[in-house]
Structure 1
Amino acid sequence: MSILVATNFSKTSENAVEYAACLAKEFKTRLILFNAFKIPIHASNARLSASFVENLMNKNKNKLKEIALGLKRKFSIETETECSFVGLDQEADRLMQAYDCRFLVIGMSSKSMEQNLLGNPTTTLISMKRFPVLAIPVNAKFTGIKRILFACDLLQDIPLKTLAKLRRIAADLKSEVTVFYADQKISELDDIPHDSIDKGLENLTLLYKNVESNKVIEALEKEITRSKSELLVMMPKKYGFWESLVHKSKTRVMASGLNIPLLSIPIE
């Protein structure tokens, strides 16, 4: 098993790489660094020879290898690098399969109106709903993850194989998991069916929290602060074409800016 992390050498992605390296050490697994090479704007308007472009690409590869070597020495982990002209959204599936990755780590930009409307690279990858994506805010630092907040809008019919991914991560991190459920009217937890979650997350320390709210995002943000959670987990559902046009994904909204990492595990 491996962890895949994407970097474009920005401050946001550098922080994500550092966080991913900490996780790789924690999980005792290797870290794969990926960079999608892009020709600089000032050079793209000029007539460039093949050798010049190749030279730029090699410099990019060497920079990525230097970062990987530094992480290997600092964290005592195995590292590998991948550099491509093809973007992450096109390469992600191949890399996830080739290196048997648990999840993809990517930096998460600060919240803005533009991102809420148009999204960003992180929300684009989450929207693909093909593999787990761990989004790291620019100011998030890894100090261990002992409290996980699992937010869901359904407490049944989640496949066990999907829940198993969360169970393995929580078990490896020795984390307790709080299952957070918001509804328009408060219900007794005994009245809410959650047998599948009990079974899928067995052997973990599980807590259930049910709140009355018709503003799920606001309720989530308050619960993150109240519970001092260090990781938010969401499991986005797949929607049909027409429904996807009018549905504003809660996972996508949360990924447009958080103070703690967000792990999106698509429901299979």
Structure 2
Amino acid sequence: MKTILAATNYTDLAENAVAWAAGVARLNNYKLILLNDFTISVHVENARLSATHVEEMIEANRLLLESKALLLADEYGIETVARATFSFIDNAIKEVVNEYQPEMIVMGMEEKSLEQELLGNTTTSIIKKLRTPVLAVPAHVKFNVPKKVLFACDVLNGVSEEILAQVKDVALVTKAEIEVLLINQTVEELQEAGADAAALNRIDDGLEGIDYYYKNVKSDSIIDGIANEIKKMGADLLIMVPEQHGFWGSMVHRSKTRIMASGLSIPLFSIPV
């Protein structure tokens, strides 16, 4: 059975992401892997508790996670697995990804801040480092099956069949319409600029059988162009491919995907190249 991974630290942000993961698991008949990486607070460390006491805390956390996994299985009618670790969250996620090879990782996304734009956070770090698709969910967005999906892609440099297959899968499962967004260049302009005709045809072939269309917007900023189109379209999911460097490169080399993720009003589905 295919799997989906959700990481939680029991905050409202993380629990909302878990609800999304459970909803996606139910839609796709995935097994949900629920991960919590236990950390000891500074106050506990300063208290210099015994090793036995620390082990008891870790065991209590494991039981809490298993209980939550069982509740999710009952509520959503899905199969769940609880994985409690005592490590660093990035390492824990990598370990679980290597073991289960999930179809995607679902994590909460903090609100936009200057610190996140410059440094990112755990979610944006996972987007950058792992070769697994990541669904980043803002805290205030409750689970709902997406019906309007904005796919911002670099047509000039081509889109792989594998990426198009994942976009198509999203549309087939959710019965959503897909808008393929072109920033500052129409299909005709792309062809004049030397875009490979096969690359353009590949999009049409890859998305055949679903409801999709192209949209061109003119904007001095890729980020602003995407953000404005989200509002105009009424999109409820954004799909991006973070490592298409020709498209997302910037003067200060900051990731467009990371900046978008930390300031979105809708979930971002990031598909690695």
Counterparts of residues 72-221 of structure 1 (less than 5 Å): 72-183=73-184, 188=188, 191=191, 193=197, 194-221=200-227
Taking a change above 3 Å as real, the CA distance of residues 102 and 79 of structure 1, as seen in their structure-2 partners, is same
Matched letter for residue 211 of structure 1: V
Structure 2 equivalent of residue 62 of structure 1: 63
Which residue number corresponds to residue 232 of structure 2? 226
* TM-score normalised by length of structure 1: 0.91
**Pairwise CA RMSD of aligned residues?**
2.2
How far did 1:107 drift? Answer: 0.3
- How far residue 220 of structure 1 moved from its aligned partner, in angstroms, is 0.8
Q: Secondary structure at the match of 1:221?
A: helix
Question: Do the aligned partners of residues 99 and 156 (structure 1) sit closer, same or farther apart at CA in structure 2, a change above 3 Å counting?
Answer: same
> In structure 2, how many angstroms separate the alpha carbons of the residues matched to 1:148 and 1:136?
15
Is contact 2:16–2:108 with CA below 8 Å preserved after alignment?
yes
Q: Is there any run of 5+ residues in structure 2 with no aligned partner, and where?
A: none
CA spacing shift, 1:246–1:261, aligned 2, 3 Å: same
Q: In the aligned structure 2, how far is the partner of 1:251 from the partner of 1:231?
A: 14
The one-letter code matched in structure 1 to 2:127 is I
Say which is worse superposed, 190-199 or 218-227, in terms of deviation: 190-199
> Shift of residue 187 of structure 1?
6.1
Aligned CA distance change for structure 1 residues 69 and 122 (closer, same or farther; 3 Å):
same
Runs of 4 or more above 4 Å deviation: none
Give the TM-score normalised by structure 2. Answer: 0.89
Check the 8 A contact 1:129/1:236 in 2, yes or no.
no
Deviations 1:6-27 (A, max 9, x none): 0011110011111111111111
Aligned residues: 264
* 1:190-248 deviation digits (Å, cap 9, x = unpaired): 84652122222232211101111121111111111111111100001166xxx899412
Q: 1:259 to 1:57 in 2, by over 3 A?
A: same
Other structure's SS at 1:101 match? coil
CA distance in structure 1 between the aligned counterparts of 2:55 and 2:205, rounded to whole angstroms: 53
Partner Cα distance (1:200, 1:156) in 2: 16
After superposition, the Cα gap between the structure-2 partners of 1:190 and 1:117, relative to the gap in structure 1 and judged at 3 Å, is closer
Note if 1:41 corresponds to 2:42: yes
- The one-letter code matched in structure 2 to 1:134 is L
Give distance in 2, aligned partners of 1:93 and 1:123. 14
Aligned 8 A contact 2:179 2:212 in 1:
yes
